[in-house]
Amino acid sequence: MTKLEENRAVINEVDRELTKLFEKRFAAVEGIVQYKMENGLPVLDRSREEELIRSREAELPEHLRPYFRTWYEALMASSRQYQTDIIEQNKK
């Protein structure tokens, strides 16, 4: 196995783990959006998002932080869209 194949195998395994974690995260998002709907809370909580980004970034080496921020912001945007979609479906 070449170094390229070895590294791709690692990435494939990490991606499988990320997929499982993504599903777990979005299951929790469903519970959060239910709470928000019941309590009239908005989907977006910008201060919480920024707090999460900063705390997770601090766990990473400096050179990875900008890439993490881009990735994590996209994940949170997907989460907000999912919440918005659930709210819209419940209006019907």
* Model pLDDT for residues 11-69, shown as the tens digit of each residue: 999 999 999 999 999 999 999 999 999 999 999 999 999 999 999 999 999 999 999 99
Q: What is the mean pLDDT of residues 66-85?
A: 97
Domain containing 13: what range?
3-91
Residue 91 has pLDDT above 90, yes or no: no
Cβ atoms within 10 Å of 11's Cβ, excluding its own: 11
The total of structural domains in the chain comes to 1
Residues in Cβ contact with 73 at an 8 Å cutoff, skipping those fewer than 6 apart: 49, 53
Please state whether the predicted TM-score (pTM) of the whole model is above 0.85.
Answer: yes
CATH classification at residue 35: 1.20.59.10
